Amino acid sequence: MSDAAKFDRQPKDKKKPRRGIQSVGIGMRVLSAVAGMRGPSALSAIARSAELSPSQTHRYISSLMGAGMVKQTTGTGLYDLDSGAIRIGLAALSRIDVFSSADRFLRTLAEQTRRSCLLAVWGDAGPTIVRWYPGSPPVITVLGVGSVLPLLRSATGRIFHAFGDREEMDRQVRILGTSDPSSIPTDCESGREIIRRTLSTSLSGDLIPGLRAVSAPAFDLQGRLVLVATLVATNSFPTSGDAAARRELLETCRVLTESLGGTWPTEHTPKARARRGNKGEG
């Protein structure tokens, strides 16, 4: 056989999908369906989520129960995760590096939107920038890693105000009321609720003239705000692209939240709000 003939055949072999054990894959679907429920659930609900028949689902659940992954609640007959699955989940969570995960997603976000992106956490002095991903063209600003942003005059700070520990955030506002009352907007509380509904906020020129910023949160397993991502644009970026940038940011924060074991608050998404509106009209 000629070298050319060998070359023609090899790619076809390499393109064959990796074969696995189908029953294992289906079993993981069932386990994922149980994990995705809000609590102990009926067999029929788990079957619908796994897209299997109830009888097929029952066979896999029986095997998962034998492995200590699923348990059946005495009295109600509902199914939930057992200690085996919980141990695996905790082991996986202990190996998650929040900043490593964020680096991967936000670096891609900056490349896709071409806008500069910053990552902030709550520090001793307030919202603190801990990562900066330059866009194209990069933003020239005095802000950088280590900079502390104002709580209510920056998009990043307003996300912390909306989703951070409420008692601490209210304490910070009281401090501002004494030291810098002009920094507190008149619509402070209503603005907080709007941000909680839309999961994002944007400001233009409020902190630094000529800069527009849009921010969104990422949550951990317990639903706590763990970090805030912000896209920054100069006047060289047309405002017509701001809506698309916001959507990209929200999608990135959703995926990042889920990668950290958290649950994205889907009840606030546009589709969910539309469903609630339709129900109200009926």
Instruction: Please give the pLDDT value at position 226.
Output: 92
Residue 151 has pLDDT above 50, yes or no: yes
Segment 217-234 shows an average pLDDT of 91
Alpha-carbon span 154 to 159, nearest angstrom: 9
Q: With cut-offs at 50, 70 and 90, classify the pLDDT of residue 225.
A: very high
Other beta carbons less than 10 A from residue 136's beta carbon: 10
> Under DSSP, is residue 71 helix (H, G, I), strand (E, B) or coil?
strand
Q: Give tens-digit pLDDT for 185-201.
A: 888 889 999 999 999 99
> Under DSSP, is residue 10 helix (H, G, I), strand (E, B) or coil?
helix
Residue 253 has pLDDT above 90, yes or no: yes
Alpha-carbon span 234 to 232, nearest angstrom: 7
CATH 1.10.10.10 correct for 21-85: yes
Q: With cut-offs at 50, 70 and 90, classify the pLDDT of residue 35.
A: confident
The residue ranges of every structural domain in the chain are: 21-85, 98-277
Residue 145 has pLDDT above 80, yes or no: yes
Chain-centre distance for alpha carbon 137: 27
Q: With cut-offs at 50, 70 and 90, classify the pLDDT of residue 182.
A: confident
Segment 246-257 shows an average pLDDT of 95
Segment 102-117 shows an average pLDDT of 92
42 vs 143 pLDDT, higher one: 42
Nearest Cα to 259, choosing from 211, 215, 226, 210? 226
pLDDT averaged over every residue in the chain: 83
Segment 246-262 shows an average pLDDT of 93
Answer CATH for 98-277 from 3.20.20.100, 3.40.640.10, 3.30.450.40, 1.10.8.100? 3.30.450.40
Which range of 97-106, 144-153, 194-203 scores highest in mean pLDDT? It is 194-203
Q: Give tens-digit pLDDT for 133-142.
A: 998 888 777 7
Nearest Cα to 156, choosing from 209, 110, 107, 195? 195
Alpha-carbon span 1 to 33, nearest angstrom: 51
Alpha-carbon span 266 to 277, nearest angstrom: 15
Instruction: Please give the pLDDT value at position 186.
Output: 82
Q: Give tens-digit pLDDT for 268-280.
A: 444 444 444 444 4
Other beta carbons less than 10 A from residue 105's beta carbon: 19
225 vs 221 pLDDT, higher one: 225
Segment 254-267 shows an average pLDDT of 86
